[in-house]
Amino acid sequence: MPPIEEHVKISRERTGKDYRELHEWLDGDPEKKAERHDITKIYEYGEMIEERFGKEGLQEYIQHLHDDVKVKIGKILMDFERAMAEALSYFGIK
Ligand SMILES: [Zn+2]
């Protein structure tokens, strides 16, 4: 998933603001990172985030999750394709 600096850069390009505190809240604590990326908690966390960062911050929170899913799934697909190519090659299937 993109590092915090990449999320900050994306937010800055999209909104003119870093939202560093928001991205650090999402990614900065390894113990809470998975819980804070749990999409079933968007409503609960979303209310808190909107109070703290406004509607634009709420959108940046959802966009952060979206960007992480896109990168994570992309990596899984690349790993799968590499493993499949290796397996086919191993058995001489072209
Ligand atoms: Zn993240």
Q: pTM higher than 0.75 for the full model?
A: yes
Q: What percent of the chain has pLDDT over 70?
A: 100
Q: What is the dihedral of CA 35, 41, 47, 49, to 10 degrees?
A: 30
Tokens of 45: 């966390």
Domain holding 66, by residue range, is 4-90
For the chain, first and last CA: distance in Å? Answer: 32
How far CA 12 is from CA of 16, 20, 56, 61, 62, in Å, comes to: 4, 9, 12, 13, 15
Q: What's the alpha-carbon Rg for the chain, to the nearest Å?
A: 17
Report how far ligand 1's centroid is from the alpha carbon of 88 (Å).
Answer: 34
Residue type, 26: L
Q: How many CA atoms lie less than 13 Å away from 90 in the CB half-sphere?
A: 6
pLDDT value at 47 more than 90: yes
Q: Report how many domains make up the chain.
A: 1
Rounded mean pLDDT of 39-66? 97
Rounded mean pLDDT of 18-34? 97
Report how far ligand 1's centroid is from the alpha carbon of 29 (Å).
Answer: 11
Report how far ligand 1's centroid is from the alpha carbon of 10 (Å).
Answer: 12
